[in-house]
Amino acid sequence: MGKLDGKIALVTGGNSGIGLATAKRFVAEGAHVYITGRRQGSLDEAVKEIGTNVTGVQGDVAKLDDLDRLFEQIQREKGRLDVVFANAGGGEFSTLGSYTEEHFDKTFNTNVKGLVFTVQKALPLLPDGATIVLNASIVSVKGTPAFGIYSATKAAVRSFARTWTNELKDRKIRVNVVSPGPIDTPAISGLVGKDQEEQFKAGMAEAVPLGRVGDSDEIAKAVVFLASDDSSYVAGVELFVDGGFVAV
């Protein structure tokens, strides 16, 4: 018996990295999973890789019309949603003196606006006792140079979890945050470039007490814990999955 048997789950940004790994774990634990992604090609590949009990819905979480279409489909096909993993997000390096309006808007639109309205629009489909997991980052509490805008969005994510835990307590809906440390995902090459990827990962590994970067499945297992009854008395927390980077 799986930890999510019979559950209907949503993973935004489920076409790669942490989102894809989590969608795989959800399916393995018995859930039917909806995944979203902006690029139809990579979404189709992810659906094929997961293989069963998965539905891909192309869309951008920062576009409210896309979210409406997503939840209308879930309502029509399943009638409810038991688990939300608001995972879609991204960031780029930029120092204070180099911020642009485009950089600010792009990062906040995906990481904050998209997350907020994903959860808001999911609410009518969530039964009492449902679970919501938000994906933040260790940078919510670390002053990482050249990552200020991204860090601010993740601090906002952490704040929402506190507020929503209180707002949804009468419905017994638990809201928690997973905050990954350095994780080996395709996003790293997009952030620093293919030629700098290995050097960047080696530098991050040196800062982690466990001496290595993590992998996406290690985050996925933590998300399964927060999404399932294994964490039935856990609410409003930020769970750092970072090899000890923040705590030590």
Range of the domain at 74: 8-239
Closest by Cα among 128, 129, 35 to 73: 35
pTM value > 0.85: yes
The H or E element containing residue 100 is none
AA letter at 175: V
Residue 247 resides in a domain? no
Residue 1 resides in a domain? no
**Catalytic site residue from 34, 99, 150, 233:** 150
Residue 244 resides in a domain? no
Residue 3 resides in a domain? no
d(CA 243, CA 53): 32
Closest by Cα among 125, 126, 89, 93 to 108: 89
- Total domains, the chain: 1
pLDDT per residue over 107-161, tens digit each? 999 999 999 999 999 999 999 999 999 999 999 999 899 999 999 999 999 999 9
HSE-CB of 193 using CA atoms within 13 angstroms: 3
What CATH number should be reported for the domain holding residue 85?
Answer: 3.40.50.720
pLDDT per residue over 38-57, tens digit each? 999 999 999 999 999 999 99
Does residue 233 have an active-site annotation? Answer: no
